[in-house]
Amino acid sequence: MEKIVVALGGNALQEAGQPATAESQLKVVKKTSKYISNLIEDGYKIIIAHGNGPQVGRIVLQNEAADNITPAMPFDVCGAMSQGMIGYHIQQALGEELKAKGNNKSVVTLVTQVVVDKNDSAFDNPTKPIGPFYTKEEADRIKEEKGYDIVEDSGRGYRRVVPSPDPKRIVELEAVKNLVDAGFVVITVGGGGVPVVENENGELEGVAAVIDKDLASERLAEDLDADTLLILTAVEKVSLNFGKPNQKDIDKMTVEEAKQYIEEGHFAPGSMLPKVKAAIRFAESKEGRKAIIASLDKARKALKGESGTVITK
């Protein structure tokens, strides 16, 4: 049975222009679950990862807004909260979808810690967007009031950015392996995992950061010896000159071609770049592995080679 790590993008959890409510998120997740259940029905062994940028940002805002009533939780705890919330929605919706199809597979969410290097240079250069989009005026005001790092995000508006260190080790990996081997559909490394560092005593301590979910998904795929890393997003294929009159969609590319395109600056840092970097890492990690970047609604076709962009060594 082919083992596939599926990395869900933001469009799989939240619809642009819709209210950021639990009800709205669950509605979108129910649609997403139909696509994922199709892959399970096709006989693939599926492990699910997902982002949490907007959600963890809003949880932080909620904590800060209520600080005069109850103590605000630290950033790593907010990350764990987002894992539980999003995982709950996915496991409920996907479980119901499988049940409706007569499939008795159980779906489980595992709150996952991911070790990062406390000396990672990312802590000196915040790049990971979280929370809602702001206008230029809103961004300037919030930056002045709260001291946040805020940047323009791929032409979509302004967002707060936090450090995004590289994932080194998944703490609960053995538990994930055991659950997968036992036949569970596992939701793990949600939001890239809760970032932790090891202190001088070897104990784990949470840090204020968000690990990129695509890179965490790649780490997971390697460690589980998956056959394919399937990165699902809002566009059907990776493109050169994206959004320009000379845009060119790519069906297949080698690791070397992908690296060349990165050097030429084709991929936006806040969106496609981490996906392509994750795809490169996985494809070159072991002979025969491949990564696919595709749209959520064409996931099934992408695994059949009929859609998406395939990255191989």
Assigned token pair, 212: 């990129």
Active centre residues (catalytic) = 10-11, 128, 213, 275
Assigned token pair, 59: 């949880």
Give yes or no for residue 64 having a pLDDT over 90. Answer: no
> Tokens 């845009």 appear where?
247
The answer to whether residue 205 sits within a structural domain is no
pLDDT at 235: 94
Categorize the per-residue pLDDT at 130 as very low, low, confident or very high, splitting at 50, 70 and 90: confident
184 phi and psi angles, rounded to 5 deg: -80, 150
HEC string of 207-226? Answer: CCCCCCHHHHHHHHHHHCCC
pLDDT at 218: 98
The answer to whether residue 296 sits within a structural domain is yes
The answer to whether residue 295 sits within a structural domain is yes
Considering only 28-37, 142-151, 236-245, which range has the smallest mean pLDDT? Answer: 142-151
pLDDT at 67: 85
Q: Tell me how crowded residue 286 is: count the other CB atoms within 10 A of its CB.
A: 12
Kindly report the average pLDDT of the chain as a whole number: 94
pLDDT digits (tens, 9 = 90+) for 240-284: 999 889 999 999 999 999 999 999 999 988 789 999 999 999 999
Give yes or no for residue 154 having a pLDDT over 80. Answer: no
Considering only 32-41, 51-60, 274-283, 292-301, which range has the smallest mean pLDDT? Answer: 51-60
For residue 300, give its domain range.
260-312
Mean pLDDT of 75-86: 95
Give yes or no for residue 195 having a pLDDT over 90. Answer: yes
Categorize the per-residue pLDDT at 122 as very low, low, confident or very high, splitting at 50, 70 and 90: very high
Assigned token pair, 310: 């395939």
Categorize the per-residue pLDDT at 148 as very low, low, confident or very high, splitting at 50, 70 and 90: confident
- Give the orientation angle of helix 213-223 with respect to helix 272-285, to 10 degrees: 10
The burial class, CB within 10 Å (0-12 / 13-18 / 19+), for 272 is buried
pLDDT digits (tens, 9 = 90+) for 284-302: 999 999 999 999 999 999 9
Report in angstroms the alpha-carbon separations of 274 from 85, 205, 277.
24, 25, 5
Mean pLDDT of 85-92: 97
Q: How far apart are the C-alpha atoms of 174 and 176, rounded to whole Å?
A: 5
Q: How far apart are the C-alpha atoms of 178 and 174, rounded to whole Å?
A: 6
User: Do residues 158 and 133 make contact, with C-beta atoms less than 8 angstroms apart?
Assistant: yes
pLDDT at 132: 79
pLDDT at 145: 84
Q: How far apart are the C-alpha atoms of 107 and 91, rounded to whole Å?
A: 5
Q: How far apart are the C-alpha atoms of 98 and 103, rounded to whole Å?
A: 5
pLDDT at 60: 87
User: Do residues 115 and 168 make contact, with C-beta atoms less than 8 angstroms apart?
Assistant: yes
User: Do residues 35 and 293 make contact, with C-beta atoms less than 8 angstroms apart?
Assistant: no
Mean pLDDT of 198-205: 94
The answer to whether residue 279 sits within a structural domain is yes
pLDDT digits (tens, 9 = 90+) for 11-24: 899 888 888 899 99
Categorize the per-residue pLDDT at 155 as very low, low, confident or very high, splitting at 50, 70 and 90: confident
The answer to whether residue 269 sits within a structural domain is yes
3-state secondary structure of 235: coil
The answer to whether residue 264 sits within a structural domain is yes
* Number of domains the chain contains: 1
pLDDT digits (tens, 9 = 90+) for 204-232: 999 999 999 999 999 999 999 999 999 99
Q: How far apart are the C-alpha atoms of 174 and 304, rounded to whole Å?
A: 30
Assigned token pair, 161: 């950015």
pLDDT at 226: 98
